């Protein structure tokens, strides 16, 4: 029996899904060429804004849909807003194709929209079934967009690699889920939480849990499940990389939080160790791996691995403070990512994408504003106060220290010094070196807006911190309330 009340909490997702399906027709019959692409992109952007408005102004009740498989609470709302903003930024910047060999097909916005629905469902997943379905819905379109530049070998390689390793992680996830289902006798998070409250945990359950966390760690691109990240970042067309760097990370991190805090909330000490290991590995791999890179997209890949390591350090604390730290961290992260990718997208010479780090040389002479923006982003990523990145680190390490994970925090901050080295390298190239051949000069409005907003948020993060903390606290306590 169909009840409207059972689907209404998922209204934003339903809306976007319906829009995506309708846009298939527009994409198919709207004619060839750039005009149709722009049309589809514009409609998608409108849909995202609508979903954003629905969530922003909607009541933040704790509701479930689809028989309890989908949960719409304050935590989901907060993370969905981040994902929607990130996707909006990435899609918005793809509206004017910059480099000659850029993707310029109506399929791109369409697939992004579908992936977005997947990401939002991931954030709201409240059951192993919906978890798996959402992850697949998010992943499949992303495999395709990674390989979208069909004439480029690198792009096809990126898509294939992403797909193969993604399939492996799905396998891990499914296997883990089946073990957990076998133990708990239910797929709902609440049911699992009730089942594991007992003292005796069979080792098969622990194995299942570790498998599931590993599967999600792949999506978060935490080391040692990070192998695909640098290649996919480098090989994919830049607008796709921009999307990868921002939105799916937030969704996967939210899913990780949801799974650990609600399904496994009563056995924190069991999964905390796994997350500590993931966190340390990611921070080390991210910091050391980035040093040797000469391609800026590869460097950003390692940088994102390191960032996920910091966020996981907060999650490893297993407390509400930890959840708060991760939420604050991800808030800063999407703006740093959007800002730096706005500039990376603009890196091109004679219409060809120029993504070597050396291409930034002397940028402060040729494009002072871009250089300034990049500098702000790099200092923020390095965690230098008073920029956004610092406050994220402050709150995740606060949670880690409070949970007694001082060694983890010390490794974290030491790795952030190592990380500072490669961020400074970019600033050095832009400011300390003489100008190279200048990059192309025209900057589309979309990039200006995304960059401007990102710079403003990163610079003035401290001013709005009180409000962010308030909302993040509500989100974190909503997550905790499910125990």
Residues near another protein (CB under 8 A) are 379, 384-386, 390, 394, 397-398, 401-402, 406, 409-410, 413-414, 416-417, 420-421, 424, 427-428, 431-432, 462, 465-466, 469
Backbone angles phi, psi at 442, to 5 degrees: -70, 130
d(CA 261, CA 196): 13
Please classify residue 282 by burial: count the beta carbons closer than 10 Å to its beta carbon, then call 0-12 exposed, 13-18 middle and 19+ buried: buried
Sequence-ordered list of residues with C-beta below 8 angstroms from that of 64, at least 6 positions apart, any chain: 9, 70, 71, 72, 126
- Specify the residue, 41 or 303, whose C-beta has the smaller distance to another protein: 303
- Specify the residue, 72 or 472, whose C-beta has the smaller distance to another protein: 472
d(CA 416, CA 393): 10
Q: Report DSSP letters for 222-263, one per residue.
A: -TTS-THHHHHHHHS-HHHHHHHHHHHHHHHHHHHHHIIIII
Shortest CB 400 distance to another protein, Å: 8
Q: Report DSSP letters for 252-317, one per residue.
A: HHHHHHHIIIIISGGGHHHHHHHHHHHHHHHHHHHHHHHHT--BHHHHHHHHHHHHHHHHHHHHHT
Give the helix ranges, DSSP H, for 347-382.
Answer: 363-366, 368-381
Shortest CB 240 distance to another protein, Å: 32
- Specify the residue, 165 or 280, whose C-beta has the smaller distance to another protein: 280
- Specify the residue, 184 or 324, whose C-beta has the smaller distance to another protein: 324
Shortest CB 85 distance to another protein, Å: 23
Shortest CB 413 distance to another protein, Å: 4
Shortest CB 306 distance to another protein, Å: 14
Shortest CB 451 distance to another protein, Å: 17
Shortest CB 222 distance to another protein, Å: 22
- Specify the residue, 292 or 417, whose C-beta has the smaller distance to another protein: 417
Backbone angles phi, psi at 125, to 5 degrees: -60, 135
Shortest CB 474 distance to another protein, Å: 13
- Specify the residue, 356 or 428, whose C-beta has the smaller distance to another protein: 428
Alpha-carbon distances of 237 from 99, 101, 227, 240, 286, rounded to whole Å: 10, 9, 18, 5, 22
Nearest to 166 by CA among 188, 146, 189, 187: 146
Shortest CB 320 distance to another protein, Å: 13
SS3 125: strand
Place of tokens 């079934």: 129
- Specify the residue, 170 or 436, whose C-beta has the smaller distance to another protein: 436
- Specify the residue, 228 or 310, whose C-beta has the smaller distance to another protein: 310
- Specify the residue, 59 or 463, whose C-beta has the smaller distance to another protein: 463
Please classify residue 296 by burial: count the beta carbons closer than 10 Å to its beta carbon, then call 0-12 exposed, 13-18 middle and 19+ buried: buried
């Amino acid at each position: 029996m169909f009840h409207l009340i059972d689907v209404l909490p998922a209204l934003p997702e339903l809306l976007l899904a319906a829009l995506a399906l309708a846009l298939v027709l527009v994409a198919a019959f709207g004619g060839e060429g750039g005009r149709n692409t722009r049309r589809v992109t514009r409609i998608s952007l409108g849909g995202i804004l609508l979903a954003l408005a629905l969530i922003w102004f909607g009541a933040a009740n704790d509701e479930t849909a689809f028989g309890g498989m989908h949960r719409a609470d304050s935590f989901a709302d907060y993370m969905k807003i981040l994902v929607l903003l990130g996707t909006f930024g990435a899609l918005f910047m793809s509206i004017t194709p910059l480099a000659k060999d850029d993707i310029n097909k109506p399929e791109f916005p369409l697939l992004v929209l579908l992936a977005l629905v997947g990401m939002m469902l991931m954030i709201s997943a409240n059951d192993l079934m919906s978890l798996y379905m959402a992850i697949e819905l998010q992943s499949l379109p992303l495999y395709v967009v990674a390989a979208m530049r069909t004439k480029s070998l690198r792009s096809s390689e990126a898509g294939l690699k992403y797909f193969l390793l993604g399939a492996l992680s799905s396998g891990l996830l499914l296997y883990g889920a089946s073990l957990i289902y076998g133990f708990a006798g239910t797929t709902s998070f609440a049911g699992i939480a009730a089942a594991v409250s007992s003292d005796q945990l069979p080792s098969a359950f622990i194995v299942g849990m570790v498998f599931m966390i590993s599967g999600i760690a792949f999506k978060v691109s935490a080391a040692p499940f990070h192998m695909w990240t640098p290649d996919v970042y480098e090989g994919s067309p830049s607008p796709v990389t921009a999307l990868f760097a921002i939105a799916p990370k937030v969704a996967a991190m939210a899913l990780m939080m949801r799974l650990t805090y609600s399904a496994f909330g009563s056995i924190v000490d069991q999964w905390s160790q796994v997350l500590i290991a993931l966190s340390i590995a990611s921070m080390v791999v991210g910091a050391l791996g980035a040093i040797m890179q000469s391609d800026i997209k590869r460097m950003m890949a390692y940088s994102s691995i390191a960032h996920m390591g910091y966020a996981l350090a907060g999650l490893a604390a297993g407390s509400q403070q930890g959840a708060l730290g991760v939420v604050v961290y991800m808030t800063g992260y999407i703006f740093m990512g959007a800002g730096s990718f706005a500039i990376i997208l603009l890196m091109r010479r004679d219409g060809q994408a120029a993504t070597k780090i050396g291409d930034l040389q002397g940028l402060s002479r040729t494009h002072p504003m871009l250089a300034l923006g990049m500098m702000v982003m790099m200092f923020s990523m390095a965690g230098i106060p008073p920029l956004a990145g610092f406050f994220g680190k402050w709150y995740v390490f606060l949670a880690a220290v409070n949970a007694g994970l001082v060694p983890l925090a010390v490794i974290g901050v030491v790795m952030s010094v190592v990380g500072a080295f490669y961020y400074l390298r970019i600033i050095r190239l832009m400011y300390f070196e003489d100008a190279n051949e200048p990059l192309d000069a025209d900057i589309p409005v979309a990039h200006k807006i995304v960059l401007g907003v990102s710079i403003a948020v990163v610079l003035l993060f401290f001013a709005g911190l009180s409000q962010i903390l308030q909302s993040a606290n509500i989100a974190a306590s909503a997550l905790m309330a499910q125990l």
